[in-house]
Amino acid sequence: MNTVADHQDVARTPAQRRQLMLALPELGPADGQAIAAFLDAVWAEQGLARASLDSYRRDLEGLARWRNGADGGLTRLQRDGVLAYLGWRSQHGWSPRSTARLLSALRQFFARLVRQGLRSDDPTALLESPRRGRSLPRAVGEGQVADLLAAPQVATAEGLRDRAMLELMYAAGLRVSELVGLPATGLNLRQGVLRVTGKGSRERLVPLGAESLYWLERYLQQGRPQLAAGQAVAAGNGNVPLFITTQRQPLSRQAYWGLVKRYAALAGINPERISPHSLRHSFATHLLNHGADLRALQMLLGHSSLSTTQIYTLVAREHLKHLHRQHHPRG
């Protein structure tokens, strides 16, 4: 069997796992075509968001590249091949949550092949998804947030853009996909509000504070014109993006991930302990710590269910426990 060898050093951090994936062989054309056809079908049938489709693509391509065409490729994969890949992922520390998502993608992939008569069986049929513990969102302390926001060099156009993005994410509690996909028309500086289209195409209005408005105005007046260099900015999906690169294109989620990690290191924060969503989690946690109403927070975050928002009360409770242990004479 021609899969990737298992004698690699064990990956212990997300960065090491990303390097493992980058080192895998190139995706074969047959596997690439099968994955593309599946994603097109899922998009047409379910209308999944771009972020979900990208996650499915990475999951399926990772397995296909690890298998490297063994036993006829992804469409002919057998149960022992799935188990071998799951074992490799477990050895290198992938989370139960990401493994559950991988299995969900595989089940849909093989179910489609069975419906088309291209397979008579589903190799994932008897596999159980790993139990996912209720992990708490990881927020950054208020002092560390201030250091992170101050890290970009605002004397440059890119630095102004990055400062405005970080300020806006913390001020509005945006998802990463919402931030990088913001249209220029969604921001109303005069009224101090942002119109956001979130999951399920639900719109919400989010108020902005003076600090974020200040940096957004500076970016629009000084940074964005320099990045555009006097050229028209291309409209993606019919909308002109608010945040652009020097190529006048919207930033990708991966590019935002990279800048957050870079500025975390500059601010003296361990980059492995921060993620692109950290400012969204910090937005929610800090509001609750300062007495915000849970239902108001639900509206600001764009959650369809209050139960999703309630997990932040557990984060706030853990914060109070920590303060008690640290400062109470019998803590």
Per the residue annotation, which of 107, 199, 204, 248 is the catalytic one? 199
**Nearest C-alpha neighbor of 113 from the set 61, 75, 67:** 75
Enclosing H/E stretch for 188: strand 187-188
42 vs 59: CA distance, rounded Å:
15
What residue spans of 47-155 are helical by DSSP H?
A: 50-67, 79-91, 96-115, 142-149
Whether 303 is catalytic: yes
**Nearest C-alpha neighbor of 162 from the set 275, 183, 199, 170:** 170
Q: What is the token pair recorded at 42?
A: 């899922």
286 vs 296: CA distance, rounded Å:
14
Question: How far, in Å, are 25, 73, 158, 213, 215 from residue 222 at the CA level?
Answer: 44, 51, 10, 14, 10
Non-local (6+) Cβ contacts of 173 within 8 A are 206, 279, 280, 283, 284, 300, 301
Per the residue annotation, which of 161, 277, 281, 286 is the catalytic one? 277
Bridge partner list, 187 = 194
63 vs 123: CA distance, rounded Å:
14
Instruction: Check if the beta carbon of residue 304 is closer than 8 Å to that of residue 202.
Output: yes
Per the residue annotation, which of 175, 224, 261, 281 is the catalytic one? 175
Whether 256 is catalytic: no
Q: What is the 3-state secondary structure (H, E, C) of 191-205?
A: CCEEEEECHHHCEEE
Whether 175 is catalytic: yes
Instruction: Check if the beta carbon of residue 142 is closer than 8 Å to that of residue 71.
Output: no
152 vs 259: CA distance, rounded Å:
9
Per the residue annotation, which of 219, 256, 263, 312 is the catalytic one? 312
What are the residue numbers of the active site? 175, 199, 277, 280, 303, 312
